[in-house]
Amino acid sequence: MITWYEQLRDPRWQKKRLHILEQHKFQCVDCGSTLKTLHVHHLIYKKKKAPWEYEDCELTVLCEDCHKKCHKNIDQLNQAIDLMKVYSVGSEIDLTLGFVKGLLWYAGVDVTIDNYEQAWGFGLRFNQLPEEVIKQFELSRKNHGTTTKK
């Protein structure tokens, strides 16, 4: 069986990769760089699907640095989801939402924590207890328009 990395050498992938790079004007969609080494990133992975069989909308262009950062964030999210499964606190949906909201908040996006489970998920991202997360949100509510709901 041919490996994923061997498939990336296939002429069909090289053609698809060039098409995606041209579509994005040889520019990283994250930082806008045109001078760094560019990668075509699969936004999703599907079993038994060759790299060139993806739709254009399932592929994007990232520079090498942004691509590494993207995969690091994906790895952290997967680790947090695994922790959620181990601790079985609240619903996985609320915990995941809390974790994602934590990432958004860290990126400067105003968010609302709707319940204790989301605060727990947010806390996983920053190694804090849910009570501390709620306390911090209440303290920053006036400055950032962020609130908590119990």
Kindly tell me if the per-residue pLDDT of 2 is higher than 80: yes
**Long-range contacts of the stretch 65-70 (C-beta < 8 A, 24+):** 65/31, 65/36, 66/28, 66/30, 66/31, 66/33, 67/39, 67/41, 69/30, 70/30, 70/41
pLDDT tens for 94-126 read 556 666 666 665 655 555 666 555 666 666 655
- Segment 40-48 shows an average pLDDT of 87
Residue 78 lies in a domain: no
Residue 110 lies in a domain: yes
Residue 79 lies in a domain: no
Residue 45 lies in a domain: yes
Q: Are residues 58 and 19 in the same domain?
A: yes
Kindly tell me if the per-residue pLDDT of 146 is higher than 50: no
Q: What percent of the chain has pLDDT over 70?
A: 51
Query: What pLDDT, on a 0 to 100 scale, did the predictor assign at position 115?
Result: 57
Query: What pLDDT, on a 0 to 100 scale, did the predictor assign at position 150?
Result: 36
Q: What percent of the chain has pLDDT over 90?
A: 35
Total tally of structural domains belonging to the chain: 2
Q: What is the pTM of this model?
A: 0.56
Residue 76 lies in a domain: no
Q: How many residues are recorded in the chain?
A: 150
Residue 37 lies in a domain: yes
Query: What pLDDT, on a 0 to 100 scale, did the predictor assign at position 41?
Result: 93
Kindly tell me if the per-residue pLDDT of 34 is higher than 50: yes
Range of the domain at 36: 4-69
Q: Are residues 22 and 52 in the same domain?
A: yes
